[in-house]
Structure 1
Amino acid sequence: MKVKTKKRAYKATNLPPGTMKYKGKKQSLKTVIDIINYSNQAFTKIDCNDVEDGFNFEGNQQVTWININGLNNLKDIEKLGTHYNLHPLTLEDIVNTSQRPKFEEFQNYFFVVFKMLYFDDKDILQYEHLSMVVGPDYVLTFQEADGDVFDNLRNRIEVAKGRIRSQGADYLMYAILDAIVDNYFTVIEAVGDKIEDLESNIFETQTNNSTTPNQIQDLKQEVLKIRRSILPLREVINRLEKSDNTIINVKSQSYIRDLYDHIIQVNESIDLYREMVWGLMDMYMTIISNKMNEVMKVLTIIATIFIPLTFIAGIYGMNFTNMPELQSENGYFILLGAMFVLFIIMLIYFRNKKWL
């Protein structure tokens, strides 16, 4: 049966550089903006729908974190980019969800793109494009939709836990990246559990169904997608660590260096799990082949046992009248006894050879 494949149309958009075009699938009806403005002594949090509410915190000797949810609302993002003097190419990369993780330095800010991985309320792994613009006293983060891994970070800022309220925008940038990388460990741990469960199921004798190869293939695709999202961040953090931009305080370099060690550990783990997943299919095929070999061995032994018995039955089934055994009164029972003894001898022989 010939499988019909759906034809796909591949077209190059060839838009002018700096043209904003959202390519994701998470559509938001409106832009949701979370604004956190803080210092060592003050804290302000605002939830609003107007990007212009984020224009009033400059020059107040505080750090401002503006988080925007909804990349499909291009006018609001463009308005925010105009106010903070963001390069058109930066705005293009903010809404381009297919952009790989990257790090770029500009005159008055630097720009970081990375992927945020987390499990939603239904325990489904979500992949989200996340961009961050870091200035001297502000941090802008752009998300596709609601839901992130920053709740603990927001709480630390609000209750002044740790050193974050006494640090600048560069430390806030580190804290955001640290929250992203720490959540990578959670994702990697979940993937490891899936691999171990599937490996256990493959070794069970009862597990021999047609869905196992599909499960292995789905897991392989998931691991490759996670690796594609995480691997480039190693280069991003490496460049960030070696940057001599005045926005990054010297004290923050040690934290970024520690973050680089964490992302190396994550990449090593995902490479290990990738090798394990690729070995699952070989393991499954080996187990299926071994089971088939066991079946073939039993059938071969049965056939081998019956070959001499069939040979004897064939000889005495020939239509000759001068065969002396045919005239014997007990010839039939003697022949059956001889065949039975031969059968027992062959079973003992096969057992001694450990073929049974």
Structure 2
Amino acid sequence: MIKIFKTFGGYNEITEPTKGCWINVTRPDQLEISRLFLEFGLPKDLITDILDTDERPRIEFEDDWTLIILRIPVESNNNGVPFQTIPLGIFLSEDFTLTLCLQDNQVLPINQPSILREQYKQISDNINFVLRLFLRSGNMYLRYLKQINQMTTLIEQDLEKSIKNKELNKLLKMEKCLVFFITSIKANEIVLAKLRNSRKVITEINEDLLEDAFIENKQALEMAQIYSDIQSGMMDAFASVISNNLNVVMKQLTLISIILMIPTLVVSIFGMNVPNGMENLSWALPAIISGSLILASAGVILFRKRQWF
């Protein structure tokens, strides 16, 4: 989907590009990709790079255009992993600024183009716009990290009583999300450092915004690393908890088998086809059953006193 706006704020949507416009492209089909190449003049290799899920963040400067690729967090249902990161490409030229992403995202949602409307008067140039995207990306990382932490807390509650690996696998997928986040945030930080060292960021406003983006990015990285360290230790601990819970269940089953074996043994002895002196007594059967129950109850009491139950 391609949407063209007269300004970065997304106030006025137009049908044809004009000088200084912002073009937002998400989930392009083959016709739209051809339009990006033929009408907007994007090199084919750059389009392919941006639409590659594994493309790393980088910045390229040419005479008439600049390309910036950062990785942004998105929600995902891929194999039970709730979040992942994908590249967002920003193509800057003298005539327009184009953002390209291979799927829907919350950094630049295609159906909500007004995310920068309150700030559009403050956006002085396209570099300022790029820095605000880095800042918004950092905010999204922090938001999703809080959601991961909440999901992890719910999984912990299930793990305390679990004897299966289902919850442990969920925790492993949370750890996988954190690895994605840490890798992408570190790569974004390198791009921000290159922007700082380039001659493009020259205004005082951009320098302040760049510093804010650095701080937000660093905070997201520290949170992701803290959560990752906690989960790494937690997985080892809960693996032992699951093993211990299974041992407790096996112990209880063993004790139950012992208790049931007592009346079985008594009945088996008196049920043997040999004389035992009680063949002709009318109260023999109730006495044997009562004795079996008394011995079984005594076994239960003994086990409880030893805190085996």
TM over 0.5: yes
- State the Cα RMSD in Å: 4.3
2:184 to 220, 232, 244: 232
- Structure 1 pair 338/239, CA: closer, same or farther in 2 (3 Å)? closer
What's the secondary structure of 1:36's corresponding residue? Answer: coil
1:156 to 98, 118, 125: 118
| Counterpart position of 2:5 | 34
Is 1:179 equivalent to 2:131 in the alignment? no
Determine whether 1:90 maps to 2:52: no
Q: In the alignment, does 2:10 pair up with 1:48?
A: no
Between 334-343 and 235-244, the greater mean CA deviation after superposition? 334-343
What is the CA–CA distance in structure 2 between the aligned matches of 1:306 and 1:240, rounded to whole Å? 77
Deviation at 1:176, TM superposition (A): 0.6
Equivalent pair of 1:102/1:233 in contact (CA under 8 Å):
no
Q: Which sections of structure 1, spanning at least 5 residues, go unmatched?
A: 1-27, 38-42, 58-63
Alpha-carbon distance in structure 1 between the residues aligned to 2:173 and 2:104: 25
Partner residue, 2:79: none
Is 1:100–2:55 an aligned residue pair?
A: yes
Question: How many aligned positions are there?
Answer: 289
Describe the shift of the 1:46–1:328 C-alpha distance in structure 2 as closer, same or farther (beyond 3 A). closer
For residues 183 and 307 of structure 1, the distance between their equivalents in structure 2, rounded to whole angstroms, comes to 65
Task: Give CA-to-partner distance per residue, 1:240-288, whole Å, 9 cap, x none.
Answer: 2255210123724423431331231243155247535686676556535
Higher RCO (C-alpha under 8 Å, 6+ residues apart): 2
Letter paired with 1:300: I
What is the identity percentage for the equivalent residue pairs of Structure 1 and Structure 2? Answer: 11
Secondary structure at the aligned position of 1:180 is classed as: helix
Contact 1:139/1:173 (8 A) holds in 2: no
- After superposition, the Cα gap between the structure-2 partners of 1:222 and 1:36, relative to the gap in structure 1 and judged at 3 Å, is farther
Question: 1:216, 1:277 within 8 Å by CA — same for their partners in 2?
Answer: yes
Q: What's the TM-score, normalizing by structure 1?
A: 0.62
CA distance in 1, matches of 2:146, 2:68: 29
SS in 1 for 2:7: strand
Q: Pick from 225, 228, 231: which aligns with 1:268?
A: 225
Q: What's 1:142 paired with?
A: 100
Q: How big is the shift at 1:103? A: 1.0
Q: Tell whether the 8 Å contact from 1:102 to 1:112 is kept in structure 2 after alignment.
A: yes
- The whole-number CA distance in structure 1 between the counterparts of 2:87 and 2:240 is 34
Contact 1:71 1:77 in 2 (8 A): no
* Structure 2 counterpart of 1:104, one-letter code: I
Q: CA deviation at 1:131?
A: 1.1
Write the distance in 1 (CA, Å) between the matches of 2:295 and 2:160: 38
Q: Decide whether aligned partners of structure 1 residues 270 and 133 sit closer, same or farther in structure 2, where only a CA change above 3 A counts.
A: farther
CA distance 1:319–1:185, change in 2 (3 Å): same
Paired residue type of 1:130? L
Task: Give the whole-Å Cα distance in 1 for the aligned partners of 2:149 and 2:99.
Answer: 30
Q: Secondary structure at the match of 1:100?
A: coil
Unaligned runs of 5+ in 2: 77-81
Deviation, 1:35, is: 3.8
Say whether the 8 Å CA contact 2:87–2:101 is kept in structure 1: yes
2 CA distance for matches of 1:190 and 1:168?
34
Relative to structure 1, the CA distance from residue 101 to residue 222 in structure 2 (aligned partners, 3 Å threshold; closer, same or farther) is farther
**Post-superposition shift, 1:116?**
3.9
